[in-house]
Amino acid sequence: MDTLHLLFNAVTVIFIAATMLAAGLGATLPALLAVLANLPLLLLVLLANLVVIPLLGWGAAALFGLPTAAFIALLLVASSPGGPFGAKLAMIQRGDVVAGAAMQALLAAIGSITFGPTANLMLETANVGGGVSLDVATLMLTVAILQLAPFAVGLVVRHFAPSTALSWHPVAGAVSNVTFLVVLVGMLLGSWRDVVALIGSLSLLAGFAFAVAAFALGTLLATGPWVRRSTMGGVAAVRNVGPALAAVGIAFGNEPAILGALAAVLLSGLAGSLLIAARLSRHRTAERRRQDL
């Protein structure tokens, strides 16, 4: 069992680092600066992802009366913006891919710092977790090392050696995708009984509803044309699992019940986000066909 835990932790570290390296390799300074220069969009997106959506997660957990493990999992997910799949959703929905990728990378970098205090405040205020309090300093340091450092390396390589970055980016993305699946399967297999137990607790429905509501709020709290606003909705709906996994490992010793709940919330939320993105893609494809006629 110890060997499996070590293997799970190792794969998780690789997943987080590869994801942020891919984000850095795929980002450019002009794109990031363009996002920063659009102050109304930036402020609204930060408000949505750092304040409104964490509160939405707390509200959804309370509304659906989730058991403790699922309550904790949803709070951790809601507190962690900048999920790498947000950029992928921009592609799926045929949205503003450049703005989506830049904002996702920026939120992931900022979220690595804000996640600890946000999650800790909500866990303590909601009085869940059996009195467990996140070691914010340790968590911030761990997440910063695992996220900010690879992102910075990728960004530097992209800026000074773009051809190298373009050749590395597909590899880093593939490693991120594969390790994400391994981590997700590991969470499910290691705690399948806990996942099954959640079926009657409305946890899956809560994760689905949270993602759909986050998509809507992310779209509402954005500026610009509809394509860009819906892209920001996709970025808001997909949260960053890396910090949440780090928190479960540091504060809860990779407790199977919380890992299972985390996997359930992530899967149901991802399903909701994909359904919306696919619907937008079909609508935009049909609209372009009508314009071409």
Token readout for 116 is: 């600890």
- The count of other CB atoms within 10 Å of the CB of residue 260 is 26
pTM for this prediction: 0.80
pLDDT, tens digit only, all 293 positions of the chain: 467 667 777 887 887 788 778 878 877 888 778 877 899 999 999 999 999 999 999 999 999 989 888 999 999 999 999 887 777 788 788 888 778 878 887 888 888 889 888 998 998 888 886 655 667 677 777 767 777 788 789 889 998 999 999 999 899 888 887 887 787 777 667 656 666 666 666 888 999 999 999 999 999 999 989 999 999 999 999 898 888 888 888 888 878 888 888 888 888 888 899 899 989 989 888 887 887 66
Token readout for 12 is: 């998780």
- The count of other CB atoms within 10 Å of the CB of residue 30 is 11
Domain edges within the chain: 2-286
Topology of the domain covering 2-286: Na+/H+ antiporter like fold (1.20.1530)
- CA distances to 30, 31, 42, 70, 158 from 78, rounded to whole Å, are 29, 26, 19, 12, 30
Q: What pLDDT is recorded for position 73?
A: 93
- CA distances to 29, 31, 101, 108, 290 from 160, rounded to whole Å, are 11, 15, 19, 22, 43
Q: What angle, 0 to 180 degrees and rounded to 10, lies between the N-to-C axes of helices 136-143 and 241-252? A: 140
How far from chain centre, in Å, is Cα 70? 17
Name the DSSP letter for residue 199. G
DSSP-H helix ranges across the chain = 2-26, 29-37, 39-47, 53-63, 68-78, 85-92, 97-126, 136-143, 149-160, 162-190, 192-197, 203-220, 226-237, 241-252, 256-292
